[in-house]
Amino acid sequence: MTMIPNHHQLLGLFEAAEPAFLAARFATDFPAYPDREGERGTVLFFDGGYWDVRMDGGPAFLHAPGGSRMIQTDGSAEDGPAMENLPMRPPWSLVLPRWSAFLGRLGDDWQINAGEPVEETDGAWRVPLTNLEKPEFTGTLTVDAERHVITRVELGHMIQSLTIGRTEPTGDDLAALQTIKSSVQQFTGAPPSRSGKPCSP
């Protein structure tokens, strides 16, 4: 059993969290709105800022420290700058919690409820949330206690999930990393956004 952090310690762990490798499926669901489809797909994350994100039925996003590439379902591709700010939505916000909107910072929607304890169950921490604008609205995070990634977000109207498949890369995963490195070139066009807001793929 790991030591259960208090909310200040947890914020520090979220800021520093960066797994060496992660392969997972992600999904956003809206239980109250069964006709509304949220984004879902697969993600490969490699240490050093390399991402392979593939939306089910949609585009793929490849990110590298020097640039990015969006590949449409028809195979056409668009190159762009490296993202200084990652999107505050799955899978980015779950793999790297510092890009989530749950940490009580300026611009965030939610904060960890310091008045309630963090609980541990089966190698995961269950973290209570309150809405910054309407404290009567509550939610929970489920956090992998070893890797400090968010595996589930429950906000009543919305559920986000990250189902970890692998934490050690296979040969196919390493081949995907080489594809990112070879296909995403150093971008020399317009500089990345410096507005402080996440760029949305």
- What is the per-residue pLDDT for 30? 95
Mean pLDDT of 174-188: 90
**pTM assigned to the model:** 0.89
Question: What gap in Å lies between CA 98 and CA 86, rounded to an integer?
Answer: 10
The SS3 call for residue 67 is strand
Name the token pair of 104.
């009580």
Q: Name the pLDDT band for 197 (thresholds 50, 70, 90).
A: very low
Task: List the beta bridge partners of residue 29.
Answer: 159
Mean pLDDT of 48-60: 97
Q: Output phi, psi for 178, to 5 deg.
A: -65, -35
Mean pLDDT of 55-74: 96
Question: What gap in Å lies between CA 114 and CA 130, rounded to an integer?
Answer: 9
Mean pLDDT of 70-75: 96
Topology adopted by domain 7-183: outer membrane lipoprotein receptor (LolB), chain A (2.50.20)
- Chain segment 19-35, per-residue pLDDT in tens: 999 999 999 999 988 88
Pinpoint the alpha helices (H) of the chain.
Answer: 7-16, 92-95, 171-183
Task: List the beta bridge partners of residue 124.
Answer: 121, 144
Q: Say whether pLDDT at 200 is over 80.
A: no
Domain boundaries, the chain: 7-183
Q: Output phi, psi for 35, to 5 deg.
A: -85, -5
Q: Both ends of the chain: CA-CA distance in Å?
A: 38
Mean pLDDT of 56-83: 95
